[in-house]
A and B are shown apart, each in its own frame.
Chain A
Amino acid sequence: MEINHKSLYIKTTIMLSVLTLIEIGISYWDIVRFYQVGLLLTFALAKMACVAYVFMHLYYEEKVLRRILFVPIPLLIYFLLGLAYDAQFNWVIQ
């Protein structure tokens, strides 16, 4: 793993900046709200993965650590789904 990290770091930094710019662009883009939110979250996740894998060296850690750290993500999505469903549910029939 003792390759030249510097260029990788620079590339990642540029990548993060570009992705941020695209994100800002999407937020002003007038498209269906559902796709907008989906796109923004996808980009955010991609950026977070970049930071975790490159800057936090998760890529070089053991597989188990990586897997364990990903366990909370589906859990949080589950919570979010439950909460969101309950927030929007209304007994009053319109």
Chain B
Amino acid sequence: MLFARGKKILGTAYPVIQGGMAWISEATLAAAVSEAGGLGVIAAGNAPFSFVREEIRKARKLTAKPLCVNVMLLSPYAEEVAHGLIDEDIEFIITGAGNPGKYMQAWKEAGKKVMPVVPSTALARRMEQSGADALIAEGTEAGGHIGEITTMALIPQVVDVVTIPVFAAGGIGDARGVLAAWMLGAEGVQVGTRFLLAHECQVHAHYKEKIIKAKDIDTVVTGRPTGHPVRVLKNPLAREFARREKEGCTPEELEELGAGTLCLAAQEGDTKNGSFMAGQIAGLLSQEQSCSQIIQDLYLGAEMLLAEKCRGENHG
């Protein structure tokens, strides 16, 4: 059985986490993922706690299975959300874009399982010391805010320095990626970009179309000078970023250019001015499916693939 430890810690049928996606992964998507046997994640993004609470309540009406909230630590509301979650009916908290050390104790005391996203071995060790239950090691292939190291290089290095389970994220789009993550020592996967194509994902149709059309080389990284680089699909806004970065715009000007643009893409489908965050694996994805189909294709597909490979080896 693949990923026994990962499934155990999640308490789900499949060791597949739907990555939190700001402005996109709300109650409908998260509940559908959890119902389908994965871990559904509501993204707090840059929203105030009242929004997050509303989404949790909605999702709870749709599923009794484990649910998670992704706390984006760069958000102006991070503190408010972090404290608010203590009394909410969710089992897991995933944190993105930073070090959640100062909230850890309160969350643990409230019985939440905490899984920080880490882009380096140092933060991985630090998080294990602070009491994290598992880690999500995310490579630079991922959509959204990213680190520097690739999934291929990051996972084995993180796995070697901690004892808690590690989930792999970044660039996983099908059963081959899941099996590769397993070979690298991961105990499960977190997938973002592919879930953008879930029927239950409420993102604007233009967003889905852009993912389906994307080729391997169609993502770029913007915002490096701000210290918070993000991976997005190429479009006029991404080109404008590149131009201004070349001209030496200040980080503040770049932050301003980026403000609100993910929302514009996700909700209005504004293909010119929106920021279409997506991972490098977008090029592989070509069809919309239900959450259940996606999760089964990822996990059961990996099991089948492994069995096939083993048979192949034996028969020379």
Asked if A pairs with B, the answer is: no
Chain B positions near chain A (C-beta within 8 angstroms): none
Chain A positions near chain B (C-beta within 8 angstroms): none
